[in-house]
Amino acid sequence: MEVKKKYYTEEQEQITRYAKAMSHPVRVFILDFLAQKKCCYSGDMIDDLPIARSTLSEHLKELKKSGLIQGEINPPFIKYCINQENWQRAKRLFEGFFQK
């Protein structure tokens, strides 16, 4: 079995995941909204965005997949918050990247 050579560092790959998650204005809005509010239910955001609830749900899913936010299920609602550990890691990675 052939082993592929890895060309990118773990940090470069993580920066890419965070950047991809933040590559849409709605996702940046969500991150900004959550950073100001600490936590909220997805329904609280829908009134401030000109998008369908299902579209918001997809954006939340992408942010959660990246690790930038976390969701706590309280049926029938999901409460979203910034994942502080990953938020700080993203900040450090981007700062380090832009200081080069």
Could you tell me if 27 and 63 are in contact, meaning their C-beta atoms sit under 8 angstroms apart? yes
What is the Cα–Cα distance from 94 to 6, expressed in whole angstroms?
21
Averaged pLDDT, 41-59: 84
What CA dihedral angle connects 43, 65, 34 and 74, to 10 degrees? 50
| pLDDT surpassing 80 at residue 22 | yes
Q: Which domains does the chain have, with CATH numbers?
A: 11-98 (1.10.10.10)
The helix (H) or strand (E) run that includes residue 79 is strand 77-82
Q: Name the nearest CA neighbour of 17 among 98, 96, 95, 86.
A: 86
The whole-number pLDDT of residue 2 equals: 66
| pLDDT surpassing 70 at residue 85 | yes
| pLDDT surpassing 90 at residue 93 | yes
The whole-number pLDDT of residue 3 equals: 62
What is the Cα–Cα distance from 59 to 21, expressed in whole angstroms?
9
The whole-number pLDDT of residue 53 equals: 87
The whole-number pLDDT of residue 4 equals: 67
Averaged pLDDT, 38-59: 84
The pTM for the full model equals: 0.84
